[in-house]
């Protein structure tokens, strides 16, 4: 395992994200604890020491399961990160209660790394609001030793991101960015990384394979990469990140043992890409730009009054576009795009700022149906 230095710590270059644990059913909170335990045990035995969870992952169960499994290990042998759910204003107003709840759920006395979760145009001012006092409260918890390092994750555009850094960057020790070879330009990750490097703020990476999309490339693109370097599509995505200055930890939400083993093998050595190889990835990214940039984070799903499984519908949409398939509506209610009522409640929660209602309408129109 490769390790990178952060202050006085040696962090595994690969961190285990806990948003996509194996499940026993379609219920997002129904985590398969035994398989998850096997994965975490294997991760620790093979050098991973950074574990990233959040208040809302797996319908609130991720913190509980992660904490329960890690309790079998010496607290000083791993680093635990979680995030404050400030995407909902009521949580900011109940900051003390939320923070204490997170400590209890994880079964720990302190968090090694604590983040303001998913800073966007919709919530940045709430995070910064002096009346709500969230950042001063977290800084006080840091003084008490219950937060060792404070940072933030970002899904905003560059202007909001820069404004946030200008106003509170002096308190932020690291930043978690959606970074991969598709979002280098698509979400202007390039500008964000350059600004973080300029201000000496280490980069944490989320969505390195874009929710699996950069693994499931076309046969032609897979062949192209294979001929240049005999590695998997996932390994190519990680090697790309090994090429980017400032990257300290790359988080991967691995959902089965095979993914975990493959990624650990990749991070057994540092093999950054050549300029020619990097350009090949940018060419693939260019060919993918007609797709809807969903990462299957599922933040939108609880807010759909019709109970639609939005990520699955969008995945079908993208596959149809990419493979030029015929569009057909699904008989299963949760997968029937025509049931969308266009309320846009989901769109307010989407970190990618996807116009989900428009996607549903387009899907329905392509299927030759009338939206209900």
- What pLDDT score does 176 carry? 98
Cβ 148 vs Cβ 113: under 8 Å: yes
How many angstroms separate the CA atoms of 280 and 209, rounded?
Answer: 16
- What pLDDT score does 368 carry? 78
Neighbours of 198 (CB within 10 A): 10
- What pLDDT score does 155 carry? 94
Query: How would you classify residue 370: left for phi > 0, otherwise alpha for psi between -120 and 50, otherwise beta?
Result: beta
- What pLDDT score does 24 carry? 97
Closest Cα partner for 345 from 118, 122, 81, 157? 122
**Which residues of the chain does CATH 3.20.20.100 include?**
3-287
How many angstroms separate the CA atoms of 193 and 161, rounded?
Answer: 11
Cβ 91 vs Cβ 54: under 8 Å: no
DSSP secondary structure code for residue 305 in this structure? T
Residue 27's Cβ-side half-sphere holds a number of Cα atoms within 13 Å equal to: 8
The CATH homologous superfamily of the domain defined by 3-287: NADP-dependent oxidoreductase domain (3.20.20.100)
- What pLDDT score does 184 carry? 94
Low-confidence ranges of the chain (pLDDT < 50): 370-372
């Amino acid at each position: 395992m490769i390790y990178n230095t952060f202050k006085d710590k040696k962090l595994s270059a690969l961190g285990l994200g806990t948003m996509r644990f194996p499940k026993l059913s379609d219920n997002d909170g129904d985590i398969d604890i035994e398989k998850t335990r096997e994965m975490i045990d294997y991760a620790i035995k093979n050098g991973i020491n950074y574990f990233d969870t959040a208040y809302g992952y797996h319908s609130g169960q991720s913190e509980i399961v992660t904490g329960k499994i890690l309790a079998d290990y010496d607290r000083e042998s791993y680093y635990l990160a979680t995030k404050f759910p400030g995407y909902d204003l009521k949580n900011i107003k109940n900051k003390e209660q939320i923070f204490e709840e997170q400590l209890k759920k994880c079964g720990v006395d302190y968090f090694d790394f604590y983040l303001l979760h998913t800073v966007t145009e919709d919530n940045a001012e709430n995070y910064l609001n002096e009346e709500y006092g969230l950042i001063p409260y977290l800084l006080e918890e840091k003084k008490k030793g219950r937060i060792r390092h404070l940072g933030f994750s970002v899904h905003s555009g560059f202007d909001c991101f820069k404004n946030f850094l200008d106003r509170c960057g002096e308190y932020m020790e690291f930043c978690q960015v959606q970074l991969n070879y598709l979002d280098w330009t698509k979400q202007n990750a390039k500008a964000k990384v350059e600004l973080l490097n300029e201000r000496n703020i280490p980069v944490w990476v989320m969505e390195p394979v874009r929710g699996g999309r950069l693994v499931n490339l076309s046969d032609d693109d897979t062949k192209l990469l294979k001929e240049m370097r005999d590695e998997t599509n996932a390994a190519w995505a990680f090697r790309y990140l090994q090429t980017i200055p400032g990257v300290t930890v790359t988080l991967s939400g691995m959902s089965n043992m095979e993914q975990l083993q493959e990624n650990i093998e990749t991070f057994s050595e540092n093999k950054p890409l050549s300029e020619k190889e990097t350009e090949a990835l940018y060419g693939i990214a260019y060919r993918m730009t007609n797709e809807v940039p969903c990462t299957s984070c599922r933040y939108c799903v609880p807010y759909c009054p019709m109970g639609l499984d939005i990520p699955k519908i969008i995945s079908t949409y993208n596959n149809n576009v990419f493979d030029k398939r015929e569009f057909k509506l699904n008989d299963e209610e949760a997968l029937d795009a025509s049931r969308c009522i266009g309320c846009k409640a989901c769109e307010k929660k989407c970190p990618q700022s996807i116009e989900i209602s428009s996607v549903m309408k387009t899907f329905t129109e392509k299927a030759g149906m009338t939206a209900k």
